[in-house]
Chains A and B, each alone.
Chain A
Amino acid sequence: MSTTIAYPPDRCTMRSSTEKAGVDISLKSIRHGFMHGDTVVHPVWDLDLDIPAGQFVCLVGPSGCGKTTLLGMVAGLVAPKQGKVMIEGAQVTKSSSESVAYMLARDALLPWLSAQDNVELGLRVRGVPKAERRKISSEWLARVGLADFKSSSILRLSQGMRQRVAIARTLALEPRCILMDEPFAALDAQTRVLVQQEFLKLWEKSGTTVIFVTHDLSEAILLGDRIILMSSRPGRIVSDIRVNLPRPRNLTAPFKNQGFAQYHEQLADRLRHEVVAANSEA
């Protein structure tokens, strides 16, 4: 069962931006299923979720509870068997995903292209002319601190640098919604904090809607405006919690954020409960 919460006015409306950067996302009575081996599994079952524009939502839950499936649906890559996915009131289709950008745990960079060509990948797919692509990608490489590495081979960059290139590739598309599937999970602990911090600074200016999947409860509390805890299969929303820690948040010392401990306490038991339930299945 999910609890409904009245949300305060959104950060992006307060941000006196000329246009609304983020998008509203709404999932209505979603049911989904697919064959896994010789059984049908239900990664998502009767799920309703409304995300106002500009919100940073973290999806937390045991493996296999449909978090990645939900991201795929918002991206228009997975069509739900039942129910509707809407962005700004319009139903999501395969070709309507221009406003959405996806980021994965592994950087998925193309090793035969330079760092700059990798940043331009999405722009190239969208047919942006070469000169403009160069300009945008140069700006983005500078913004993620890699101005000197435009022509570097990906194979010569460190993990942290590669993930920065992936961030630049994602943001160069000027997405109005970013879908992130454990984007920092493959980084070592110290690099992860740095990249999280840097990403948050970029995001705080942007007002973009973010849906962020993670297994790491602390990460969810530190980054998110709202945490959706999902149950083991079939995936449903177990709790829906607003995180009211003030920003900017202290990512290097989580417990220095007033209230972090309470959120952690509140969620850790429920998450553990769901993970145990997931593991005792099958």
Chain B
Amino acid sequence: MSGNHFVNNAAPVSFSPVPSTYLNGTSDFDQTIIHELEQGRRRDLRRTIGIGLTFLALFLLAWHMAGETGLVKRIFISDPASVAMAIWNLLSEHNTWRAVFATLTAAIFGLIIGSALGIASGVLFARIPTLYRAARPFLTIFNAFPRPAFAPIFILWFGLGATPKIAVAISIVYFVLVLNTMAGIRSVDADVRFLARSLGMSEWQLFTIVELPHAMPTIVAGLRLGAVYSVLGVVVSEIVAANEGLGQLLVQYTNQFAIAESFASLALMAAVAIVLDSAVSLLQKRLSWGRPSEA
């Protein structure tokens, strides 16, 4: 095409420019408003932390006093100081770290494999409605099974290593990601789809330029849920039977009635889930668009 016919006349065109100061306030007046906002945010943060710490203190105090006054037998609930000591002691043992490593790696594998399969199926189901309608009854039935209950069977099939744990984790994570991926892709605005067609986008372009980036926040939100569920699946499987892992550690301590160490093992499981969730939330910051959301 020979030159743009909208501008073949050299006369300057006419939209009154919007000054860049529209967004970035540099005046003193604007600075005051920005300052006030930041002050307000800092105050809110202080209050949030204050309330949180108060709750924590009250909880620990109530726990301690319940045992101290004999309201509940210490043999069942231990006390905060002993649990703290138990965590410290556990962390100095090589065995504990092997258990943490076993649980964490299995949870990571479960999350990665489960979400890869889940995202891939979610994309296929969202793009090929007929395939989804055909698969739906099977998905509904499979989803209705309480998946951790697969653990004994998987252990029977795969032995006491990492495989059955990973399989349980996959069976849970998969559905979370299928549903979130589908929801994300389907929520692309009808106008945007229309525009994409009018621009002549191919199916592949529609997927890579529009659908996938649009669905990304929903998919990553699914990954965060998946991270926690993956640890859940792995731990349940370990509790049923495993060579090593935090689930087994817990079972051993409760069998010995070592209540402080049992609580300490629970705390380590939570820590593993938090590590995985934080890793995913870093990813969330990179891949999500839109206004900063809650949580």
Contact = CB atoms under 8 A, between A and B. Distances in A.
Contacts, number: 111
B20 A205 contact: no
B9 A205 contact: yes
Interface string A153-186: 0011000010010000001011010010000000
B289 A171 contact: no
A79 to B, nearest CB: 13
Contacts of A155: 290-291
Contact of A97 (B9, B13, B18, B198): B198
Contact of B209 (A124, A149, A161): A124
B70 interface: no
B201 interface: yes
Contacts of A97: 198, 200
Interface stretch (A140-148, A218-226, A260-268): A140-148
B6 A104 contact: no
Greatest chain B CB density within 10 A among A122, A152, A207 is at: A122
B210 interface: yes
Given A95-B200, A148-B19, A161-B18, A108 B5 contact: no
A77 B5 contact: no
The bracket for how many chain A residues form the interface is 35 or more
A214 interface: no
Contacts of A102: 194-195, 198-199
B15 interface: yes
A110 B192 contact: yes
Contacts of B189: 106, 108
Interface in B1-47: 1-2, 4-9, 11, 13-20, 22-23
Interface in A73-126: 75, 77, 95, 97-98, 100-102, 104, 106, 108, 110-112, 121-122, 124-126
B214 interface: yes
A201 B14 contact: yes
Interface of B: 1-2, 4-9, 11, 13-20, 22-23, 189, 191-192, 194-195, 197-201, 205, 209-210, 213-214, 216, 289-291
Interface of A: 17-19, 21, 75, 77, 95, 97-98, 100-102, 104, 106, 108, 110-112, 121-122, 124-126, 139, 142-149, 152, 155-156, 161, 164, 171, 173-174, 176, 179, 194, 197-198, 201-202, 205-208
Given A126-B200, A161-B18, A171-B6, 20 more contacts: A17-B8, A101-B198, A108-B192, A108-B195, A111-B290, A112-B214, A121-B199, A124-B209, A146-B15, A148-B17, A148-B22, A149-B20, A155-B290, A174-B4, A198-B14, A201-B14, A205-B11, A206-B5, A208-B5, A208-B6
